[in-house]
Amino acid sequence: MFSNSSLLPALGNAFEHLRSLERVTLTLRCVHDENEIGSSLIAAIGSCKALKQLRLDLDTTMSSGGEMLAAVAQMLHELGPERRLQSLTLGYSWFSEASDETLHELQAAISVLPLHFVGLLAPQDPEMGSLENACSVLGRTVEEVLVMDGWDHDGLVFPVFLEALCQCPRLKRLHLIGEVPEKLDVESFEQTLRARVSGLPEVCVNCPLGIKIANHTTRRNQLAVQAMSAFLFDLQKKTEEVFQNYFALTQAASDNLAKEVEAVTKIQSVYRASKIRRSWHAVVGSTLLIQRAVRGWSGRRRSWILRFQRQRQFQAQFFHQAAVVMQRTFRGWWSRRHLHDFGGRKRYVQKLAKRGEWTTTYLDHEHQEKLAVAKMEEEERMRQEFCHVAGEIHHLVSTKSIPGIYNPPYNDHLPRAFDKPIECLGAA
């Protein structure tokens, strides 16, 4: 519990670093300008992604009740993606002052949370339908609901509360803590709830378990009030002692003024001497630092100059060698281009090769023609010689009609030469 509202922003910033926090119990009593600070603190709880149990007692003014519930809706919306919150208890909240948009956001944020326990402790202004609006916090995963002093004297809100409870299929237990209206038939209420909810819930009115859960917050608040009262009583009791001690100390200080002045003078002289020595040591240290920095800079500069000269020497050698290679390459190219024209020589050699091929082809053709002419002349000469020899034996022409040695009777064809019968050649 913080009595100083200036500490609340620091507490809200601290929640961002408590990502493994699983349980939070917070009681806020805010009035006037502190409502905005309290809303920001509640919204900051949403950064506790590992939160499983949350209990908020929001004892605020009626004008800020809607703002506080809007901050609760924002906080539950931030806890929704992690889906770890299982227990939610809201005490002294002004559900009757919440707008429809806030209730819709609150219901949407709770619908994605795996809540198993929901507690509604003494909602403010029950005659104006606080419990009816508070039914929006009942999600489909709720298994246990506790309501303390959340209804009016006539109990007109219970039918609406029953309809909201019927939307919780997993509901197992309902705790009603407080003075139940006489018109409410608890057994009939329980039977109707059992008939419409598959989980067969149990309705407990002022049972020890529910009272224990509800009194946890009430007892804590009573202890806080008692502690504050005791503190104020002790403060009032010790006020006179403070004044008496003040006057006694003032008189003692007046009596010891001379000694204090002497002691102060001595302290001042020692302090000034120590300040001068500290200043002198600072100057000496700064001088040594400057000298060390200058010597280091000078050494680095000489090293840089030597390194730069060596690098330039290496570059000059490299460029000299590169120039030699380029000059040699250029001289070779110029010599091949102008003194020894490799291109012209290549074209000349190719021309000679083609001319040699043409000559070889021409000579082969001439050789073949001469061979053909020689063959024809040889055949003509042999034909003439054969015809001359055949003409000398023309007396053998009779064998054409009379079989003999050159015309045997058993041969069907006559001997032929140059595709002509020998007899014909002889006749010619």
The mean pLDDT value for 168-194 works out to 71
Q: Are 176 and 190 in contact (CB under 8 A)?
A: no
Chain centroid to Cα 27, Å, comes to 38
Residues 6+ positions from 91 with CB-CB distance below 8 Å = 55, 56, 57, 58, 119, 120, 121, 122, 217
Buried b (16+ CB within 10 A) or exposed e, 389-421: ebeeeeeeeebbeeeeebbeeeeeeeeeeeeee
pLDDT of residue 117: 74
Task: Record the tokens describing residue 405, joined without a space.
Answer: 């040695």
Q: What is the pLDDT of residue 340?
A: 75
d(CA 407, CA 421): 11
Long-range contacts at 416-424 (CB < 8 A, ≥ 24 apart): 417/386, 417/390, 418/383, 418/386, 422/390, 423/396, 423/397, 423/399
CB 129, CB 96: distance < 8 Å? yes
Pairing, β 87-91 against β 53-60: parallel
C-beta of residue 96 within 8 angstroms of C-beta of residue 82: no
Which residue in this structure is represented by tokens 């299982």? 86
pLDDT of residue 347: 86
Does residue 42 contact residue 68 with C-beta atoms inside 8 Å?
yes
What CATH number was assigned to the domain covering residues 7-232? 3.80.10.10
Please report the DSSP string for 101-143 in residue order.
HHHHHHHHHHHTS---EEEEES-S-GGGTHHHHHGGG--TT--
DSSP 186: H
- What is the mean predicted confidence (pLDDT) over 342-354? 85
Evaluate the CA torsion angle 219, 222, 227, 233 in order and state its sign: negative
Domain extents for the chain? 7-232, 313-378, 393-428
306 pLDDT higher than 50:
yes
Q: pLDDT for 369-385, tens place per residue?
A: 999 999 999 888 888 88
pLDDT tens digits, residue range 290-302?
Answer: 999 999 999 999 9
Residue with tokens 């059992």: 194
Q: What is the C-alpha to C-alpha distance for residues 410 and 427, in angstroms, rounded to an integer? A: 23
Q: Would you say 56 and 28 are in contact if contact means Cβ atoms under 8 Å apart? A: yes
- How high is the pLDDT of residue 296? 96
Q: Which amino acid is at 210?
A: G
Task: Give tens-digit pLDDT for 268-294.
Answer: 999 999 999 999 999 999 999 999 999
Which residue has better confidence, 61 or 34?
61
CA atoms within 13 A on the CB side of 322: 6
Cα 152 from Cα 284, distance rounded (Å): 84
What count of other Cβ atoms lies within 10 Å of the Cβ of residue 49?
15
pLDDT at 423 over 70: no
The pLDDT value recorded for residue 272 is: 95
205 compared with 250, residue with greater pLDDT: 250
